[in-house]
Each structure stands twice: as C-alpha cells, then as structure tokens.
C-alpha cells in the first residue's frame, strides 16, 4: 500500500556554503494494508523524519514514496490535501497536539467538515461513534483538552485521526509521554482499533518493548539509515545487526535476576565489540 524507496531527506545548512544535514540516507520500506510497521531508533536516528516525510511535512530531496500507486514526492499541496482522507497522524505530545482553545467536538468535527463541506448533524453523529471507539464518554464533547489527562488526550488525538476512516495512521511516539499503565491501555486501544477497522500503522517509537508489542514487522534505524528490517519476532528477539543487539541489551528488564543476567550479556557484548 505504501512503498518508500531510497528516500533521502536533507536539511539545508544555515548560511552561505554551509553543508546541509542529511537526516535520512536512502531509506526503503513498505507497509501493507492492516499491518503495523514499527520504526525503532534512538534520538537523532531519523525515525520522526520518516514519519514527517510520509505526511508531507518535510520536503523529500530524492527517492520516491508511493501510496496506492500515487507518487507523494513532489505532489502539489492542493492535491496532497485530498490524501488526508487516507493518511492520518497521532503525535507524541498529547499536550501540544490538541488546540487548547477548541472543544473536543470542534477538534473532532473539523476534519469532517473540512473534507465534506456542511452537514453538521452527520458530523456530530460520527463524533459520538468515534468517542465510543476510543472509550471516552459522550459528554466529553463540550470540554477543553486541558480538562483531560495525558492518556485521555491521546484518545482524543486517536479519535481525530480515525475521523476520516484513513487507511494509514502515522503514529509518532504516541505513548512515550504516558505513564506505564496508561501506555499499556492506549497500545491495546491501537491494536483493537486495527482489528476492527483494518487500518495500517507506521508506528514510531524509541522503545523496543512498545514496538514489539504492536508491530508485525520492525525496522531499526541508526544514524538516518535502516540497519535491520524484518518480522517483529525476529528483529526484537534474535537481532542480527550489532546495533540492534546493543539496543536490546540496553533495555533493562523489570526482573532483578534476569536483568542481572542481561547486564552480564551486555558487558560481554560490548567487550567483544571492543576487541573486534
């Protein structure tokens, strides 16, 4: 459904003759309908840039991103706006991704009205269905985002993304700002929505455990390039690339004995790398 080949994103340097910064080097990946592709990487690895490139929020320098056969790179903005029916987004920060001065109803109705002009009654009917879908009560519609907790705000953001029944949702670290127990519930919400609606996710996270939980396939990013790409079980449990191995070893396990063992493994891994 989405096919990215050799995508390069380069930010122009500031000032005369300064060299640009290459955020992505020739990245290629694909997402099929109903599927979750997890993108995992540390800060500065370019994982957020990939998401923004798919959304058309950063210019792509070369390469191609095709969605349902249509080329997204170089598509004019007016035409691109038509694609918002199909590609949506949930951002990391549930505090700044919702306009603080709009009610939940305004936030959810907006994309509906913008795309299919008029008919507010159908729109508010849809808003109720959406709230049901993300597990929020109907009386939430007249409240402002600041009256909700982080997890609830993220549910509102998910409802907004679902409003136009998209085929693909780009999820940029959607649970990183949430508490542990909220995180688990929101992830399960993502999964159950996928099972209900068949939407595909491009799921970006720095947390290998989160990515493993939700993804069918995983791509590991390091310094702007994909170093490992494959089935979730394989990449997150028996990684082949040394960087993925380091990443896996670094995540502490919430179990003192197993963590002690992993610590030993990590030391051995680092030592062997230092020798090599």
Q: How far is the CB of 5 from another protein (least distance, A)?
A: 20
Q: How far is the CB of 28 from another protein (least distance, A)?
A: 19
Closest CA to 208 of 35, 37, 38: 38
Q: How far is the CB of 197 from another protein (least distance, A)?
A: 12
Residue 26 burial by CB count (10 A; 0-12/13-18/19+): exposed, middle or buried?
A: middle
β-bridge partners, 70: 67
Q: How far is the CB of 203 from another protein (least distance, A)?
A: 11
CB closer to another protein, 62 vs 233 = 233
Q: How far is the CB of 256 from another protein (least distance, A)?
A: 5
Closest CA to 134 of 192, 54, 217, 63: 192
CB closer to another protein, 119 vs 231 = 231
CB closer to another protein, 121 vs 137 = 137
Q: How far is the CB of 26 from another protein (least distance, A)?
A: 24
CB closer to another protein, 119 vs 147 = 147
Please state, in angstroms and rounded to a whole number, the distance separating the CA atoms of residues 93 and 206.
14
CB closer to another protein, 36 vs 49 = 36
CB closer to another protein, 26 vs 85 = 85
């Amino acid at each position: 459904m989405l096919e990215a080949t050799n995508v390069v994103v380069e930010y122009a340097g500031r000032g005369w003759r300064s060299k640009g910064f290459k955020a992505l080097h020739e990245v290629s990946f694909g997402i099929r309908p109903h599927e979750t592709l997890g993108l995992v990487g540390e800060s500065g690895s370019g994982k957020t840039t990939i998401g923004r490139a798919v959304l058309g929020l950063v210019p792509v320098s070369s390469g191609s991103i095709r969605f349902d056969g249509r080329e997204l790179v170089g598509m004019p903005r007016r035409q691109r706006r038509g694609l918002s029916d199909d590609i949506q987004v949930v951002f990391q920060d549930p505090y700044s991704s919702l306009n603080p001065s709009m009610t939940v109803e305004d936030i959810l109705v907006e994309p509906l009205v913008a795309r299919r002009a008029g008919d507010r009654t159908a729109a508010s009917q849809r808003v109720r269905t959406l709230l049901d879908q993300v597990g929020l009560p109907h009386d939430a519609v007249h409240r402002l985002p600041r009256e909700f907790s982080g997890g609830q705000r993220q549910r509102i953001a998910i409802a907004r993304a679902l409003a136009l029944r998209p085929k693909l949702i780009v999820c940029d670290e959607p649970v990183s700002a949430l508490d542990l127990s909220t995180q688990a519930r929101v992830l399960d919400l993502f999964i159950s929505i996928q099972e209900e609606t068949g939407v595909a996710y491009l799921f970006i996270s720095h947390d290998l455990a989160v990515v493993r939980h939700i993804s069918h396939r995983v791509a590991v990013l390091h310094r702007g390039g994909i170093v490992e790409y494959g089935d979730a079980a394989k990449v997150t449990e028996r990684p082949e690339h040394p960087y993925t191995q380091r990443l896996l070893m670094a995540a502490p396990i919430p179990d003192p004995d197993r963590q002690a063992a992993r610590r030993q493994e990590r030391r051995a891994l680092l030592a062997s790398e230092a020798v090599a």
